[in-house]
Structure formats: C-alpha cells, structure tokens
Amino acid sequence: MNMRLIGLGTGVVLASVLGACNAAQQDPQCVVAKAVSDGSTGSFAATYSLKEGQDPSLSCARLKPEPVGLEKYFSKDENGPESVVIRSSRLGKLLTDEDVQVDPDAPNQANSPGVLTTAAPGPDNFCEVPTLAPSRLVVRSTAGGSGPGMDLTYAWSNLRIYNTPDIPGTQFVADLRYTENGCTAEYKVRGIWPVVSCATKGKPDESKCDPYADPPVRLRGSGINPSFPVKCDPDALICVLTGEVPSVP
C-alpha cells in the first residue's frame, strides 16, 4: 500500500484550534487522535468483550485490555482514499523483544491497514473502515528459545471511529476475529484515547483515571475526556472505558 503519513495533532489540540478558528465554518474531517509530544503513533486503551455464543473457556477467549495503535494515512495519489492502520501492542512488543525468535519464513505482518469509506464523518458521526487486512505474527520460540512458539492472527473489521468537536477521533469500536495456535474467538473491541497508566506501586489506583486535578494530592488530571466513563483495569493497569461507544456528554 502506497501511503504517506498525515501530520495531525492530538484530538484535544485539534478541537482547540478549530474552536479558535470558528469551527462551524470548517469542513468536517475524519480524525484519528495521536500523540504529538514525541511524534509517536497514537495509542488507544482497548478492551475486548467476547461476542455472544463464544466459548469463554478457550485459551484464545481470554484477551486482556491493551494499548492499540491507530494511525491515519493518505495516498500519494491526491485523489486516492485515506486509510487507517491498526496494530496491537502485543504484536509490537513481540517484534521488538530480543528474546523472541520470529519465523523469518512466515508471512508476518504486524499492521492491519484498511481504507476509509469517506473523508468526512457520516450522519452518525462515525468514520468507517469496514475491511482491514489481517495482521499475523509467527514466533518460533520465546524466552531465549525455551518458550513455546506461537501463531497469532488479528483479523480486524468494521472499525468505526467517532468524530465530533467534543470527541475528535478519541473513541473507536471494531470487530475482531482472534486466532492463537488454531484456536479462534470473536470479540467486540472498544477503545479510548489516550492510554493512561493507573498503577501505583504495581497495584490499581482509580484516582489516576480521574480527569480532574486535586491539588496538592494530584496536580493534574488523567487527560481522558471527562465524559468517558472509565475504570482502572486490574490486569493491564490502564484506564479503560466502561460505557459504550460513543460515550457523549
């Protein structure tokens, strides 16, 4: 896929700029929130909920919340469609872990690209990516060769990113068909931006998900939109959404 990175700012910055420039006169665009302080890919705190009819006892039916990266691109062809790429942090960590031996002969692809159906949000304020290429990683061994191999596939679909002046690309929902060593389970995925750690000395700390400062105990808020109902996930130790997408004021 021949793509070039769009230089977008964070959702919060974008909303402020539009407000200062008379947002009512701006053409709406499909925005995907991203980090700008270090130029890194925007990460969303994603939760996985098993779909009805799935067997929760399966090994592949136990996905925990994790950061998921989303990035928006546009084609070098000025008339080409815009695209979004999604990537699980689990696959990213496996690729960069020195103790993991990735199978060089396997068709490994950590990113899942898909084409936006429109450049602007639809009547329901969602920007849609119905079809994405699956991401797959085949690992021969872990932990210096002592751990077992893995064959992981994330087949994303129906990615929908919510876009309004108040929520500029900071919530998404998607379907996921996850396969691990031949075991497959289907999930509904919800994500919010940004990823916020809620760990204090390795334990959950709900106060770190609070969007409001509380001096002198807490000098700044979490940075999460106050309209998002969130909690500290005890396994991932990140703040995750407890409501639906969209969660609106």
pLDDT at 218: 77
Q: Are 151 and 181 in contact (CB under 8 A)?
A: yes
- Confidence check: pLDDT of 11 > 50: no
* pLDDT band, very low/low/confident/very high, at 26 (cuts 50, 70, 90): low
Q: Are 74 and 82 in contact (CB under 8 A)?
A: yes
pLDDT at 50: 98
Which amino acid, residue 19? G
pLDDT at 13: 37
pLDDT at 62: 96
What is the average pLDDT across 244-248?
A: 90
pLDDT at 174: 98
Q: Are 56 and 46 in contact (CB under 8 A)?
A: no
Q: Which residue, among 212, 216, 210, 213, has the nearest Cα to 229 in the 3D structure?
A: 210
Which amino acid, residue 62? R
pTM for this model (two decimals) = 0.84
Give the residue, 204 or 79, on which the prediction is more confident: 204
Residue whose tokens read 């109902």: 229
d(CA 161, CA 51): 20
* pLDDT band, very low/low/confident/very high, at 104 (cuts 50, 70, 90): confident
Give the residue, 28 or 225, on which the prediction is more confident: 225
- Confidence check: pLDDT of 143 > 80: no
- The domains of the chain are located at 3-194
* Chain segment 40-95, per-residue pLDDT in tens: 446 999 999 999 999 999 999 999 999 999 999 987 888 888 999 999 999 999 88
> How much of the chain, in percent, has pLDDT values that exceed 90?
64
Please state which of the ranges 25-39, 53-67, 219-233 shows the lowest mean pLDDT. Answer: 25-39
* pLDDT band, very low/low/confident/very high, at 149 (cuts 50, 70, 90): confident
Would you call 59 helix, strand, or coil by DSSP?
A: helix
- The number of C-alpha atoms within 13 Å of 102 and in the hemisphere containing its C-beta is 17
Provide long-range contacts, Cβ within 8 A and 24+ apart, for 13-16: 14/168, 15/165, 15/166, 15/168
What is the average pLDDT across 198-219?
A: 90
